[in-house]
Structure 1
Amino acid sequence: MITLSAVKKNYSSDVAIGPVDLQIPSGGVTALVGPNGAGKSTLLTMIGRLLGMDSGAIEIAGYDVSRTSSKDLAKIVSVLRQENHFVTRLTVRQLVSFGRFPHSKGRLTVADEEAISRSIDFLDLGELENRYLDQLSGGQRQRAYVAMVLAQDTDYVLLDEPLNNLDMKHSAQMMQMLHRAAQELGRTIVVVLHDINFAGHYADHICAVKDGVVTEFGTPEVIMTDEVLSRVFDTPVQVIEGPRGPLAVYY
């Protein structure tokens, strides 16, 4: 479980995140949704200790994020930010191998190589593992970064907008793979999403963030309603029953 207690981040006298009290259950996919600038990515990066908080406490699986050593925290939680720009020319396999650094410290063992191969196969990248990143499509490259995070072999995985720059087909494929990772690999995946319909279809829980605070938390059945989504996004939303579940329509 991930627990946030009175977490707050101040940017200026009129821009702040929190205070946030939140419990994200273990297992499955939890989607952070909300308007632009609501604070979704800030919350995610504070959970992963990539950004400090001004007050409050965050625990992951009982470990205090502020007090746990970096080497120990890297074996509990892995984080993928939006900014994935490697200037060095890397192959897919070389990139994914970075995920093993908390375990190998740069000296890959047979067990590390097996973990790398498992992640590459899980993300269906076997035929591309010797290709350079700049030879891949945007969707293939994004899958390679997610494979790197999964290779870190942590119970908790934080992904900041993994659908960024992906078209509809590749976004659906990515969400299917993340859902599989949660179910088949037993991971707890927390993901920032802009598309509420992807959250409604693939997430087990949805956390709505607005003006720096959590306004709603629940299953898709609870969140995917006209009233809740209209309130969260400050625009009229109608939820209709689609062929595979509820769909939000903006008008």
Structure 2
Amino acid sequence: MISLTAVEKRYSTQVAIGPVTLDLPAGGITALIGPNGAGKSTLLTMIGRLLPADAGSISVGGHDVAAVKSRELAKVVAILRQENHFVTRLTVRQLVGFGRYPHSQGRLTVDDERIIDRSIDFLGLDGLEGRYLDELSGGQRQRAYVAMVLAQDTEYVLLDEPLNNLDIQHAVQMMSHLQRAARELGRTIVVVLHDINFAGHYADRVCAMKDGRVAAFGTPDEIIRGDVLTGIFDTPVDVVDGPRGRLAVYY
């Protein structure tokens, strides 16, 4: 479980996140949605300890995020931020291998290599592992970064807008990979998404944020509703029943 108790981040008297008190159950996918500036990415980075909270407490898998040693935390939770893009010229396999650093400290073992192979195969990159990142399409490169995070082999995975700059085909593929990772690898995935319909279709739980606070939390059926979404996004939203679930239509 990820547990937040009275968590706050203050930037000024006018801009603040929280207080947020929230329990995210282990397993499955939790999608963080909300308008720009709602605090989704800030909350995610505080959970991953890339940004310190100004008040409150956060625990991940029973570990106090503020107190646990960095190397131990890196074996429990992995995070991929929007700006996590290496400028050094690396092959796909070299990039994915960075995910093993908390375990191997750069000295890869046979077991590390096996996990790297598994992560590359899981994301469908087995034919690309020798290619350099700057030789890949945007969708392939994004899959390589997610493979690196999966190779860290943590129970908890935090992803900040992994669908950014992906077309519909590659966004669908990415969410399908994440859904499989949650179900087949037993990962607990928390993902920031802008597309309401991707959240409704692929997530097990949806946390909607507004003005730095949690406005609603529940199953997709509970959150992907016209009245709830209209209040969160301050724009009219209708929800219709589609062939594969509910669809949000905004205008």
**TM-score band, normalised by shorter chain:** over 0.9
Alpha-carbon deviation of 1:85? 2.3
The DSSP-based 3-state class of the residue aligned with 1:42 is helix
What is the CA–CA distance in structure 2 between the aligned matches of 1:77 and 1:85, rounded to whole Å? 19
Equivalences for residues 2-13 of structure 1 within 5 A: 2-13=2-13
- Residue 177 of structure 2 corresponds to 177
- Residue 237 of structure 1 corresponds to 237
What is the CA–CA distance in structure 1 between the aligned matches of 2:84 and 2:57, rounded to whole Å? 28
Deviations 1:206-246 (A, max 9, x none): 00010000010000010011110101111100000111000
The DSSP-based 3-state class of the residue aligned with 2:17 is strand
Alpha-carbon deviation of 1:82? 0.2
What is the CA–CA distance in structure 2 between the aligned matches of 1:68 and 1:141, rounded to whole Å? 32
Equivalences for residues 15-26 of structure 1 within 5 A: 15-26=15-26
What is the CA–CA distance in structure 1 between the aligned matches of 2:76 and 2:90, rounded to whole Å? 26
Aligned residue identity for 1:97: G
- Residue 63 of structure 1 corresponds to 63
* Ranges of 4+ aligned residues in structure 1 off by more than 3 Å: none
What is the CA–CA distance in structure 1 between the aligned matches of 2:137 and 2:17, rounded to whole Å? 35
Q: What percentage of aligned pairs have identical amino acids? A: 73
- Residue 186 of structure 1 corresponds to 186
Equivalences for residues 30-109 of structure 1 within 5 A: 30-109=30-109
Aligned residue identity for 2:47: I
Aligned residue identity for 2:250: Y
When normalised by structure 1's length, the TM-score is 0.99
The more displaced of 79-88 and 206-215 is 79-88
- Residue 133 of structure 1 corresponds to 133
The DSSP-based 3-state class of the residue aligned with 2:11 is strand
What is the CA–CA distance in structure 2 between the aligned matches of 1:150 and 1:244, rounded to whole Å? 28
What is the CA–CA distance in structure 1 between the aligned matches of 2:15 and 2:131, rounded to whole Å? 44
The DSSP-based 3-state class of the residue aligned with 1:18 is strand
What is the CA–CA distance in structure 2 between the aligned matches of 1:231 and 1:169, rounded to whole Å? 30
Which stretches in structure 1 are left out of the alignment for 5+ residues?
A: none
What is the CA–CA distance in structure 2 between the aligned matches of 1:99 and 1:6, rounded to whole Å? 31
What is the CA–CA distance in structure 2 between the aligned matches of 1:201 and 1:67, rounded to whole Å? 36
The DSSP-based 3-state class of the residue aligned with 1:125 is coil
Deviations 1:161-186 (A, max 9, x none): 00000011100100000000000000
- Aligned-residue Cα RMSD (Å) equals 0.4
